[in-house]
Amino acid sequence: MNVGGKEMHFLEHLEEFRKVVIHSVIAVAIGAMVGWSFAPWVLESIIHNTVGYAVVLSPLESFGEHIRVAIILGLVLSLPFVLYRIWSFIVPGLLGKEKSVVGPLVVSSLVLFLVGGAFAYFLVIPAMVKVLLSFQTPSMKQMLQLSEVLKFVYNMILACGILFQLPLVTLILAWVGIVTPQFLLKKWRHAIVIVLFITAIVTPGDVASAQLFLGLPVMALYFLSIGVAFLVKRKPREAGNGSA
């Protein structure tokens, strides 16, 4: 790896990587300390946005969830700095073309994950909770444990964030030539089945409305990614014609 026009030795490379890890951990710790103050508000927001109230079955449960939320907030708050340190570590070893591609891909992935997480939090999760709780009979009393509610919310946000990476994955596959836009367009029926299968896995129980809430945007992203793949596929041809 070249840094500042000088070749870095293997041990120097490891030392630089160690600095990146240490700086990232410190940044997350500082972010978690800031997040500690906002954790009660986040917990209240999650509970009110989902089940209305939750019970704790252990004196340590609320404290443990408070710490977990603070760490998650620390990761979110420190993410720009962490990405900057990682980028500064890998960019010297990249070629000029790779530098122009990797950065936008990372930013796009982060934006898509945040959009997917927000979509899950504000639309999918409330709809799923409403449908699931509608199966209660008058003799059933709702007593939902705090840790289980938060685990459900975290898992759904993570699942939606990953599903919303579909356009980026499709874009990369088309760019490297593994798949073609024509192939993706031809297999749209198979894509619908796969999306419904995946949403059935990530949504608990037989919640058709939640599958539609989650599946329709993912299918829209699939067709959007096909359009982007057409643009990516044309660029090499245009470049080849221009050089001929």
pLDDT, one tens digit per residue, over 116-127 is 899 889 988 888
Question: Could you identify the residue written with the tokens 């593994």?
Answer: 178
Query: 7: part of which helix (H) or strand (E)?
Result: strand 6-7
* DSSP helix/strand/coil, 128: helix
Cα separation, 52 vs 146, in Å, equals: 11
What pTM was estimated for this model as a whole? 0.77
Task: State the pLDDT at residue 69.
Answer: 96
Beta bridge partners of 133: none
Tokens for 141, please give them: 């009393």
> Tell me, what's the pLDDT at 242?
46
Over residues 170-186, the mean pLDDT reads 80
**What average pLDDT does the segment 102-115 reach?**
84
- Strand pairing class (2-3; 6-7): antiparallel
What is the pLDDT averaged over residues 59-68? Answer: 93
What is the DSSP track for the chain?
-EETTEEPPHHHHHHHHHHHHHHHHHHHHHHHHHHHHHHHHHHHHHHHHHTS--B-SSTTHHHHHHHHHHHHHHHHHHHHHHHHHHHHHHGGGS-HHHHHHHHHHHHHHHHHHHHHHHHIIIIIHHHHHHHHHTT--TT-----BHHHHHHHHHHHHHHHHHHTTHHHHHHHHHHHTSS-HHHHHHTHHHHHHHHHHHHHHHS-SS-HHHHHHHHHHHHHHHHHHHHHHHHHHHHHHHHHHHH-
At residue 95 the predicted structure's pLDDT band, cuts being 50, 70 and 90, is low
pLDDT tens digits, 182-204: 888 888 888 888 877 777 776 65
The torsion angles phi and psi of 204, rounded to 5 degrees, stand at: -75, 140
Average of per-residue pLDDT values in the chain: 81
Which of 100, 82, 99, 80 lies closest to 91 in space, CA to CA? 99
Does residue 237 carry a pLDDT above 60?
no
Residues 6+ apart with CB under 8 A from 110: 79, 83
